[in-house]
Amino acid sequence: MSTAPPAIDRAHGGPYKALVTETDLVERAAAGDLDAFTALVDSRRERVFWIAYHIVSDAELARDVAQEVFLRLYRVIRRFRQGGRFDAWLYRITLHLAIDALRKERPHRQTTSLDDLVEGAAPTGEPGTGAGAGPATGAHPRHAGASEGLHRREVRRIFQELAGRLGRKQRAAFILREIEGMPTAEVAAILGTTESTVRNHILQARRILQKGLRAHYPEYIPRTRR
């Protein structure tokens, strides 16, 4: 995109092309190198945005949260310990700020959705593609063309409603592993807990969501032939 700031180009092919390791980038960013920091931002902003979006369900707000996350990161990156898990640290900041933003927001504000804009959501071959049964008809959203965005928006609205019944950690664990497809170990590092606790959180979350869907949205559950 021609309107993208130069930092993006630098990140992908400029002076930081040779800096392949995350450690190099973090060290330079901690030393005050703004270009290295921008490269870090560019490589992580999409994941940060999506985690925030799954929590706040508003594209504009999630974008603001993402920017706040990176601003906070810049302030504290000097304190990052060598050998620590940078991603887990960053995504933990994201979760905190997204929950904070959600709490501060007015409950009935007009939200902006980007489910119509997203290209190749839930890509093939990755975790998190298990769904696809449309409401009532059972049509696969990939074949639904324009209705795909509508379907995703509806599913997101249902998730937002049912996720309110989950505890904070249950919700975070479900979003990170089941929706974003992160490995269990990474989710455990982000939440500062053990892998078995993460599995337990997800199991509980799954049960609550199943119950809610069966009770209130049975039309979204495909019927199987016996």
Partner 1 sequence: MADLLDDCGACRARLKDPNREFLSDADRRQVAAHMAACDGCRREATAADPALLFMALRGGVLPEQFWDGFDRSLRTRIEAETARPAPARVAVRLATWVAGARAAIAWAPSPAIWAAPAVMVLVLGVTVGVLRHDLFMPGPRSPLVEALRPPYAPPGGTIRPGAALNVPARTPGGREWGVPLPALLSGAGDPPTLEEVASPSARVYRFDATDSGAEPIYFVVDESIEF
| Packed helices 195-216 and 184-191: angle between N→C axes, nearest 10 degrees | 100
If the CB atoms of residues 86 and 155 are measured against partner 1, the closer one turns out to be: 155
CA distance 8 to 16: 11
Residues 4-23 as x/- pattern, contact with partner 1 by CB under 8 A: xx-xx---------------
Q: How far apart are CA 148 and CA 165, in angstroms?
A: 26
Cβ 37 to partner 1, closest distance in Å? 8
The only residue of 111, 113, 184, 197 in contact with partner 1, by rule CB under 8 A: 184
Cβ neighbours around 103 below 10 Å, total: 7
Question: Among residues 17 and 140, whose Cβ is nearest to partner 1?
Answer: 140
User: Which of 23, 78, 105, 131 contacts partner 1 by CB under 8 A?
Assistant: 131
CB within 8 A of 212, min separation 6: which ones?
Answer: 161, 162, 165
Size of the site for partner 1 (CB under 8 A): 81
Told to check if 30 binds partner 1 by CB under 8 A, we report: no
Between residue 160 and residue 179, which ones bind partner 1 under the rule CB under 8 A?
Answer: 167-169, 174, 178-179
Rounded to an integer, what distance in angstroms lies between the CA atom of residue 9 and that of residue 17?
10
CB atoms < 10 A from the CB of 24, how many?
Answer: 14
Binding mask 83-122 for partner 1 (x = CB under 8 A): -------------x--xx--x----------x--xxxxxx
Residue 86 or 134: the one with the smaller Cβ distance to partner 1 is: 134
Query: Shortest approach of partner 1 to residue 3 CB, angstroms?
Result: 5
Residues 59-88 close enough to bind partner 1 by CB under 8 A: 63, 66-67, 70-71, 74-75
Tokens of 191: 């939440």
Helix pair angle (184-191, 86-104), 10° resolution: 60
**Mask for 134-153, x = binds partner 1 (CB under 8 A):** ----x-xx---------xx-
194-223 residues near partner 1, rule: CB under 8 A: 199, 202-203, 205-206, 209-210, 213-214, 220-223
Say if residues 88 and 186 touch (Cβ distance below 8 Å). yes
Packing angle of the helix pair 86-104, 34-56 (nearest 10 deg): 50
Question: Any contact of residue 3 with partner 1 (CB under 8 A)?
Answer: yes
Tokens of 140: 């696969």
